[in-house]
Amino acid sequence: MKGIVYNLTFFFQVSVFIVTLYYLIISLFGLYRKKDNSSNSEPEKSFALIVAAHNEEMVIGNIVDSLKMLDYPKELYDIYVIADNCSDNTANIARKHGAIVYERFDTTKKGKGYALEWMFNILFQMDKKYDAVVVFDADNLASKNFLKELNRKLKEGYKVVQGYIDSKNPHDSWISESYSISFWTANRLFQLARANLGLSNQIGGTGFCIDMEVLKEIGWGATCLTEDLEFTCKLVLNGQKVGWAHSAVVYDEKPLTLKQSWRQRKRWMQGFADVASRFFFKLMKKAIKDRDFVAFDCALYTIQPFMIVALGLSTILTFLQSYSADGMNIFIISYLFSPIVWKLLSVFQFLFTPFVMFLENKLSKKLLVYFSLYSLNIFLFDYMFDPDSKLIYIMLAHTIFLGSFILILAKFEGKTALKVFLWYLLYGVYTLTWLPITIQGIIDKNKKEWAHTQHTRQISIHEIENLDSQSVA
């Protein structure tokens, strides 16, 4: 029996390790960023900008104002707002700010996916024709060069393009900071990496554009909880790739509390599990039949919820083996390297995300040095304590070291830098919560429940520009 357990666990953990290694290798290609091709920057394409809004009276004015300020010929784009099942003043405020408003009321087909499909059909029937449609959420703000960058990518031949999703409230709470870190790293290590490799990027739900002819040909039809992932899968199955515009930035509002975050991320995982059940095998069939690596990569992405659970289970198995008195005959990856190599890998893991934040101009060089100095504690405490040292003394030393580090950082770098450091430490907690959230999402994959982000304040594009110009983190 022990032999069977060993072999099954060996196969399981090696499989998880290989997939994890695949993602790591792919992500390394995101460390390099090519220079943008400026030869295709002349404005040419026309756009219909669509803002999907449900009871968004607090923020709708700011997104319309932001889009009106885009550095692009005004005759080449129009701003449309879908006031979807609104019971507040969203429609009137959007009109006052200069948007073309369409009000939709449907008590059965609820959600952003249905609202977009409804609006796309209206656009198809208009006398005025556009080259592409661009989708935003109501709480977004767009960088002034947004349409210029999308125009350039469309002229390069892409039919669908995703812009860079940034955060407009990164320092409001440890949750919004964790979200921001997650998006910054995904933009670089997932999206840019795939763009560099010629793979398909993933639509991120907002800040993306679709060529009108492709939209008519394929049809939207994406109405699940993650309509962006569903439509990406449809595109790949139809031989299309999503392009990536790293310099076209859309600022998105992130949740402030763990409760809000839990609901939103659970919805994402429900949608992922639903899409995986419908598209994984279709994509794998295309990947094998057509020898299509783009389809293979997309298929792997759809099973992200199951990979999170598998990674969590693999970690638990490793933990059980490490602390088993009689030895469980379970293969663990830690046998592969010496302790010093694992310590170096731990330092690399701790510093990799701050380094990516530095590349994305979200972290100053000085603060990156502080992170580097703090990471050396793994060697310091290994030198100070032997394996027989009491746990309470080790914990006390760690507490004193962290406290001293916090005091130094606060005195010399200020409150904002201190928040960034502390909240990065809490980012690990945010990451761990993905496991129970994902399990809930898989269980409830057939339930549709939309989580509406609560807006606590208004943020203008001018405030965002001022925040970006500060080198505090």
pLDDT of amino acid 448: 65
The answer, yes or no, to whether residue 469 has pLDDT greater than 60, is no
pLDDT of amino acid 471: 45
The answer, yes or no, to whether residue 472 has pLDDT greater than 50, is no
The answer, yes or no, to whether residue 335 has pLDDT greater than 60, is no
Tens-place pLDDT, residues 60-93: 999 999 999 999 999 999 999 999 999 999 999 9
Question: What is the share, in percent, of the chain residues with pLDDT greater than 90?
Answer: 62
- Residues 321-336, mean pLDDT to the nearest whole number: 52
Question: What is the share, in percent, of the chain residues with pLDDT greater than 70?
Answer: 87
- Residues 94-117, mean pLDDT to the nearest whole number: 92
Query: The tokens of 263 are what?
Result: 């609901």
pLDDT-wise least confident of 142-151, 248-257, 357-366, 372-381: 372-381
Those residues whose C-beta lies under 8 Å from the C-beta of residue 203, and which sit 6 or more positions away, are 160, 162, 228, 229, 231, 232, 242
- Residue 378's pLDDT band (boundaries 50, 70, 90)? confident
CA distance 23 to 448: 30
Tens-place pLDDT, residues 181-211: 999 999 999 999 999 999 999 999 899 999 9
The answer, yes or no, to whether residue 150 has pLDDT greater than 60, is yes
Mean pLDDT (the chain, rounded) = 87
pLDDT of amino acid 39: 67
pLDDT-wise least confident of 251-260, 322-331, 362-371: 322-331
Domain ranges of the chain: 45-302
Tens-place pLDDT, residues 427-462: 999 999 999 999 999 988 777 655 556 666 667 666
Could you write out the three-class secondary structure of the chain?
A: CHHHHHHHHHHHHHHHHHHHHHHHHHHHCCCCCCCCCHHHCCCCCCEEEEEEECCCCCCHHHHHHHHHCCCCCHHHEEEEEEEECCCCCHHHHHHHCCCEEEEECCCCCCCHHHHHHHHHHHHHHCCCCCCEEEEEECCCEECCCHHHHHHHHHHCCCCEEEEEEEECCCCCCHHHHHHHHHHHHHHHHHHHHHHHHCCCCCCCCCCEEEEHHHHHHHCCCCCCCCHHHHHHHHHHHCCCCEEEEEEEEEEECCCCCHHHHHHHHHHHHHHHHHHHHHHHHHHHHHHHHCCCHHHHHHHHHHCHHHHHHHHHHHHHHHHHHHCCCCCCCCCCHHHHCCHHHHHHHHHHHHHHHHHHHHHCCCCCHHHHHHHHHHHCHHHHHHHHCCCCCCHHHHHHHHHHHHHHHHHHHHHHHCHHHHHHHHHHHHHHHHHHCHHHHHHHHHHCCCCCCCCCCCCCCCCCHHHHHHHHHCCCC
- Residues 291-304, mean pLDDT to the nearest whole number: 94
pTM beyond 0.85, yes or no: yes
Q: How many residues does the chain have?
A: 473
Q: Quick one: fold of 45-302?
A: Spore Coat Polysaccharide Biosynthesis Protein SpsA; Chain A (3.90.550)
Identify which of 246, 234, 232 has the alpha carbon closest to the alpha carbon of residue 201: 232
Higher pLDDT, 16 or 133: 133
- Residue 390's pLDDT band (boundaries 50, 70, 90)? confident
- Residues 278-299, mean pLDDT to the nearest whole number: 95
- The phi and psi torsions of 215 (rounded to 5 degrees) equal -65, -40
